[in-house]
Amino acid sequence: MDHQPATPKPTRVYYFGTCLVDLFFPDAGMAGIELLQAQGLTVVFPQGQSCCGQPAYNSGYRAEALKVARAQLDLFPGDDPIVVPSGSCAGMMKKHWPDLFHGEPDEAKAVQVASRVWELTQFLVQALEVRLTDKGEPVRVTWHASCHAQREMGVVDEPKALLRQLANVELVELAREKECCGFGGTFAVRHPEISAAMVGDKVADIAGTGAARVVSGDCGCLLNITGALEAGRQPVQGQHIAQFLKERTHG
Amino acid sequence: MADGTVDFAAASRAALQDPQLRGNFRRAMDGLMGKRAAQFPDAAEWRGVRELAAAVRLRALAKLPELLERLEENCSRNGITVHWAATTAEANAIALDILRKVDAKLVVKGKSMVTEEMHLNAVLEDHGIEVLESDLGEYIVQLDGTMPSHIIMPAIHLNTKQIAHLFKRKIKDAESREDAAYLTDLARRVLRAKFLAADVGMSGVNAAVAETGTLCLIENEGNGRMCTTVPPVHIAFMGLEKVVEKLEDVPPVISLLPRSATGQPITTYVNMISGPRKSGEKDGPREVHLVILDNGRSSIYADPELRDTLRCIRCGACMNHCPVYTKVGGHAYEAPYPGPIGKILVPQIEGLETRGALPHACTMCNACVEICPVKIPIVEIMGRLRVEAVRPGGAVKDGGAKASRAEAMVWSGWAAMNASPTAYRIATLAMSRLGNAAPSSLPLLKDWTRVDNEAVRSKPRFATRTLHDLARAKGIPDA
Amino acid sequence: MPDARSAILAKLRADRDAHPLTPPASDFTPIEAKRWPDDDRLPRIRRLMEAVHTEFLDATDTDWPAVLREFLAREGVGTLLYAPETEVGKRLEREWEREGTHEVERVRGDPRCERIDPCLTPHPSHAPHGPLPSPGAGEGPTLIPYDKPIEDLKPQLFTAIDAGLTTTRGAIAETGSLILWPSADEPRTLSLVPHIHIALLRADALYDTFLQAMREQRWADAMSTNALLISGPSKTADIEQTLAYGVHGPKRLVVLVVRS
Ligand code: SF4
């Protein structure tokens, strides 16, 4: 994936929280903001934001997706980076908005906005080159990579690099790290049995690492994985990476 | 289903309840993914050859009508008779006609996906012609009276024990031995007699070279060579997209296909047929026929976005890497092409009325896109087909077949809520206050939380304050 | 079906012209860049092919018939099918004649045909036979010339031949593949039906890649009716991913490497 040049380091960023974070993981969203603030950045959270449009886009309702995406466009004036605590929503904005707006009057604006989108961990590592100091107790964790973070945003090593900066955190990788957890947006309810089988394999993989926590960068996956961990009474906790990093570094 | 709609959800449910099947697929696909990865240790090499293979396929599509004409011309010059079929019915009629002329009673077949598409075996059997699949996997599946579950490894859903039982039941004097070497040898003996006696051999085509009039077939077993070399007549079937321009275009395709498919550097045989037996030659078929099948491909070709579907070289890697395929196996798709390529190809060939569910049987994880050796944007095409399924008219057969007023209303309501900050604030407020009170018996929540009456996932819990609330409370600037 | 033909082509042409496609340039350098030093090619070919159960024999221009003969005797091979019109075939005949064991055209009446390898029998109901007694000293395997159309040879070809000898047009280092170029003199089935395929490879005819071989040998100018790459004995993994050799084609592939 293309990366914007890391220098000069930005001083102001926009934050696009995403609808899932908004409704289910606001603390993770807040933690992301605080991680950025801890690096000395001014973080702007436009209150008019809602959703990137992905649910409708992936369901075949492009006009509806366009309407929602368009409602976000004017919230990010200027050139400041737009940081998103989700690989999936970042991928929607960066990769699919240009297609979605293709041939529309505001195509140029959409392309400009899309080009400024970063996934959170990618931004922390590549743009900010953060150095984290671990203040937590020893713990073993594993990392769940979201499909869109990996394959649309090209975020593979960044989150693991951040976890490895933490002295007391032992990262045990999954045997099938690249495999989808079975969330897939509406897929989970259109094909609940297959989705359950997929998350079943994922949970078994997680349990196999002996980790106390599974950390991920996408709330769709987390809803799915933590839901399955709970239903299966597994002692592993799921957590968004932003929140985990904040807990570890803020003491 | 009675109306011809193929119910992927029901079929996959059955597969998921079969632990044996699930185990077989999980093991097999894990092995294949590992072997493929081992074949591409050099990322730059992979990228370079992949770009080349994609370019080769795109160039073929760019010149498709001209190349097909050239292929026909050069095949004819080589003595290969070329036939054209718009539909599978036409292709079957062509095959029957050739068989009738040579009074064929026994046909041996090498692997051919196109003939699966045609249901050719059933047609031949209806006409009293014995037809024998000779690829070991296809042979097993034929004995079992089922369908292939994978385009490269047709019998991957069965384990050795199951195959041993099958052979014991179906092959005279077979011993009950769960030993792949013994079973393979058993099949060898049965099939060698058939190769010897067959009147006609049939095969598919991996790539047809316009420049030289050459049909390229790759395989490991030698059955493909047997079918194309030993019987007096050879009939090859190809989808019209399988043409490539030059002989030099074959190496990039051959370089990626076996590595992607089964993780081997090359197949045991690369069989390049440029004609029947020439005068003075002592063997080879007396007649070679090439049947070029359309069956909806030209319609796929008509759309510049969907056209990319036709790049496919049928390596099967997308299914090996598909998290859905690896869970449910190939039979759930009830189609000759399962997995990701099947989910985009089959609805375009058969229409969205009966196959409109397939593009939704996907989490859009992009694992297939990442490994496809010819860079087909499978997931983008999947998304496009989802659009076509609910949009009447359009480019795909039975466009709009899945349109539903109720669903459309849900999405327009969703859009209204998310396109207006006020509506969004009210809606999220309502959800954070009331959402957790929703009973698990609500339709979508029920699917989320329970499968077969077993708890699979806990209910998602709405936070009492949204991120919008928290940001406002913490004084995070709004602009 | 001429109607289908013109309808299909007309549709494709119209649709393509409505949405022309500009393919990216085909850059062959990633394949052209694959090169191996002269000394590495043969070992690489050997390693790749041995990994899939190919066997190798080393010989020279002078001694290859003797090396072959010794191999056949050691392995208890009773019958060797060969191409009498080729240089290699002629050399073979001379060699066998000199040893005084030149037997040709005896295949039909040869009682040994009936008791070769168990897998030669076309039906599993045939009782397995014991291994062939090794030919005694001075007694070579019977040479069978492939000198008539397959129709006249078919039953014997499938039931009474142990091994077939072919030449090659070289081998490919990248993938460990032999290039076969069947012709009027050297039939296609010689490398396919016999249980053992012995292929003569000249140690100086090695290529880096398939692409290089087809370019240097100018394949596009004149193709064999059945050009082949062969990279091992017949194999399958269709039974639970377990590799098994000799499913339909040769059970063994023996490369006789001939150095000048
Ligand atoms: S779509 Fe790509 S990965 Fe799938 S079978 Fe075709 S070429 Fe292979």
For an interface test with A, the pick among B322, B333, B404, B456 (most A C-beta atoms closer than 10 Å) comes out as: B456
Range of the domain at B282: 40-295
- Chain C nearest-CA residue for B85: C4
pLDDT at A170: 98
From residue B368, alpha-carbon distances to B55, B186, C208 in Å are: 19, 36, 31
For chain A, the average pLDDT equals 95
Choose the final residue of a domain: A72, A94, A127: A127
Within this chain, do residues A76 and A171 fall inside the same structural domain, yes or no?
Answer: no
Q: Report yes or no on B157 lying in a domain.
A: yes
Percentage of chain B surpassing pLDDT 70?
99
Question: How sure is the predictor about C133, in pLDDT bands with cuts at 50, 70 and 90?
Answer: very low
User: What's the rounded Cα separation, in Å, for the pair C123 and B197?
Assistant: 13
CATH number at residue A232: 3.40.50
For chain B, the average pLDDT equals 94
Within this chain, do residues A93 and A185 fall inside the same structural domain, yes or no?
Answer: no
Chains C and A touch (3+ CB pairs under 8 A): no
**Ligand 1 atom with minimal separation from the B316 CA:** 5
pLDDT at C137: 41
Of C1, C158, C239, the CB nearest to B163: C239
Choose the final residue of a domain: A127, A155, A176: A127
Instruction: Read off the pLDDT of residues B292-304 as tens digits, 9 standing for 90 and up.
Output: 999 999 999 999 9
Question: How sure is the predictor about C116, in pLDDT bands with cuts at 50, 70 and 90?
Answer: very low
Within this chain, do residues A19 and A46 fall inside the same structural domain, yes or no?
Answer: yes
CA of B50 to the centre of ligand 1 (A): 12
β partners of residue C165: C198
Residue B17 has pLDDT above 50, yes or no: yes
Instruction: Read off the pLDDT of residues C46-65 as tens digits, 9 standing for 90 and up.
Output: 999 999 999 999 999 999 99
How many domains does one find in chain A? 2
Half-sphere exposure (Cβ direction) of A49: Cα atoms closer than 13 Å: 30
CA of B342 to the centre of ligand 1 (A): 9
Within this chain, do residues A161 and A194 fall inside the same structural domain, yes or no?
Answer: yes
* Mean pLDDT computed over C93-102: 80
Grouping H, G, I as helix, E, B as strand and the rest as coil, residue B293 is strand
- Chain A nearest-CA residue for B461: A24
Grouping H, G, I as helix, E, B as strand and the rest as coil, residue B96 is helix
How many domains does one find in chain B? 2
Residue C125 has pLDDT above 60, yes or no: no
Q: How far is A136 from chain B (nearest CA, A)?
A: 25
Chain B CB within 8 Å of residue A200 CB: yes
- Tokens read off for C124: 């599993």
pLDDT at A4: 54
From residue C114, alpha-carbon distances to A244, B192, C107, C155 in Å are: 76, 16, 10, 12
Question: How sure is the predictor about C134, in pLDDT bands with cuts at 50, 70 and 90?
Answer: very low
Say if the Cβ atoms of B477 and A43 lie within 8 Å: yes
Q: Report yes or no on B342 lying in a domain.
A: no
Say if the Cβ atoms of B463 and A23 lie within 8 Å: yes
User: What's the rounded Cα separation, in Å, for the pair C180 and B150?
Assistant: 31
Within this chain, do residues A62 and A89 fall inside the same structural domain, yes or no?
Answer: yes
Residue A5 has pLDDT above 60, yes or no: no
Residue C106 has pLDDT above 80, yes or no: no
Whether cis (ω within 30° of 0) applies to the bond prior to A8 is yes
Of B153, B268, B271, the CB nearest to C234: B268
Cβ of B372 closer than 6 Å to ligand 1, yes or no, is yes
CA of B464 to the centre of ligand 1 (A): 46
* Mean pLDDT computed over A83-110: 97
User: What's the rounded Cα separation, in Å, for the pair C223 and B382?
Assistant: 40
Residue C138 has pLDDT above 50, yes or no: no
Q: Of A13-17, A217-221, C239-243, which range is least confident?
A: C239-243
Question: How sure is the predictor about B438, in pLDDT bands with cuts at 50, 70 and 90?
Answer: confident
* Mean pLDDT computed over C185-195: 97
Q: How far is C166 from chain B (nearest CA, A)?
A: 14
Residues 6+ apart with CB under 8 A from B389: A60, B347, B352, B356, B359, B396, B399, B400, B401, B402, B403
- Chain C nearest-CA residue for B190: C123
Question: How sure is the predictor about A251, in pLDDT bands with cuts at 50, 70 and 90?
Answer: low
Residue A1 has pLDDT above 70, yes or no: no
Instruction: Read off the pLDDT of residues B225-271 as tens digits, 9 standing for 90 and up.
Output: 999 999 999 999 999 999 999 999 999 999 999 999 999 999 999 99
User: What's the rounded Cα separation, in Å, for the pair B60 and C12?
Assistant: 12
Q: Which residues of chain A lie closer than 8 angstroms to B323, CB-CB?
A: 179-180, 182, 198
Choose the final residue of a domain: A75, A92, A127: A127
Instruction: Read off the pLDDT of residues B183-218 as tens digits, 9 standing for 90 and up.
Output: 999 999 999 999 999 999 999 999 999 999 999 999
Q: How far is C103 from chain B (nearest CA, A)?
A: 21
Choose the final residue of a domain: B295, B319, B344: B295
Measured in degrees and rounded to the nearest 5, phi and psi for residue B382 equal: -60, -45
pLDDT at A23: 95
Grouping H, G, I as helix, E, B as strand and the rest as coil, residue B78 is helix
Chain B CB within 8 Å of residue C240 CB: yes
Q: Of A18-27, A240-249, B142-151, B219-228, which range is least confident?
A: B142-151
Residues 6+ apart with CB under 8 A from C83: C89, C145, C146, C165, C166, C167, C185, C186, C187, C190
Range of the domain at A18: 12-127
Within this chain, do residues A96 and A182 fall inside the same structural domain, yes or no?
Answer: no
User: What's the rounded Cα separation, in Å, for the pair B68 and B63?
Assistant: 9
CA of B261 to the centre of ligand 1 (A): 9
* Mean pLDDT computed over A163-173: 98
Residue B50 has pLDDT above 50, yes or no: yes
Residue C199 has pLDDT above 70, yes or no: yes
Grouping H, G, I as helix, E, B as strand and the rest as coil, residue C115 is helix
Which sign, positive or negative, has the C-alpha torsion B115, B116, B120, B121?
A: positive
Within this chain, do residues A111 and A163 fall inside the same structural domain, yes or no?
Answer: no
Choose the final residue of a domain: B265, B295, B325: B295
For chain C, the average pLDDT equals 87
pLDDT at B4: 64
Q: Find the helix packing angle between B64-78 and B43-62, rounded to 10°.
A: 90
pLDDT at C2: 58
Within this chain, do residues A143 and A203 fall inside the same structural domain, yes or no?
Answer: yes
Q: Write the secondary structure of C132-160 as one string of H (helix), E (strand) and C (coil).
A: CCCCCCCCCCEEEECCCCHHHCHHHHHHC
**Ligand 1 atom with minimal separation from the B151 CA:** 5
Half-sphere exposure (Cβ direction) of B436: Cα atoms closer than 13 Å: 10
- Residue A118's nearest CA partner among A98, A89, A160, A75 is A89
Residue B115 has pLDDT above 50, yes or no: yes
Helices (H), B376-420: 378-390, 405-419
Instruction: Read off the pLDDT of residues A18-51 as tens digits, 9 standing for 90 and up.
Output: 999 999 999 999 999 999 999 999 999 999 999 9
pLDDT at C103: 52
Question: How sure is the predictor about A98, in pLDDT bands with cuts at 50, 70 and 90?
Answer: very high
User: Which residues numbered 46-65 in A keep a CB inside 8 Å of some CB on B?
Assistant: 46-51, 53, 55-65
Cβ of B231 closer than 6 Å to ligand 1, yes or no, is no
Q: Find the helix packing angle between A26-38 and A241-250, rounded to 10°.
A: 50
pTM above 0.80, yes or no: yes
Residue C132 has pLDDT above 70, yes or no: no
- Class of residue C74 by CB neighbours under 10 A (exposed 0-12, middle 13-18, buried 19+): exposed
Grouping H, G, I as helix, E, B as strand and the rest as coil, residue B148 is coil
- Residue C245's nearest CA partner among B270, B181, B154, B269 is B181
Within this chain, do residues A20 and A108 fall inside the same structural domain, yes or no?
Answer: yes
Question: How sure is the predictor about C121, in pLDDT bands with cuts at 50, 70 and 90?
Answer: very low
User: What's the rounded Cα separation, in Å, for the pair B126 and B139?
Assistant: 19
- Domain spans, chain C: 36-259
- Chain B nearest-CA residue for A74: B479
Choose the final residue of a domain: B268, B295, B322: B295
The answer to whether residues B198 and C150 touch, using CB atoms and an 8 Å cutoff, is: no
Q: Report yes or no on B328 lying in a domain.
A: no
CATH of C36-259 among 3.40.50.10420, 3.30.980.10, 2.60.120.650, 3.40.50.10090:
3.40.50.10420
Q: Report yes or no on A188 lying in a domain.
A: yes
Say if the Cβ atoms of A50 and B465 lie within 8 Å: no
User: What's the rounded Cα separation, in Å, for the pair B27 and C241?
Assistant: 9
Residue C129 has pLDDT above 80, yes or no: no
Q: Which residues of chain C lie closer than 8 angstroms to B52, CB-CB?
A: 26-28, 30-31
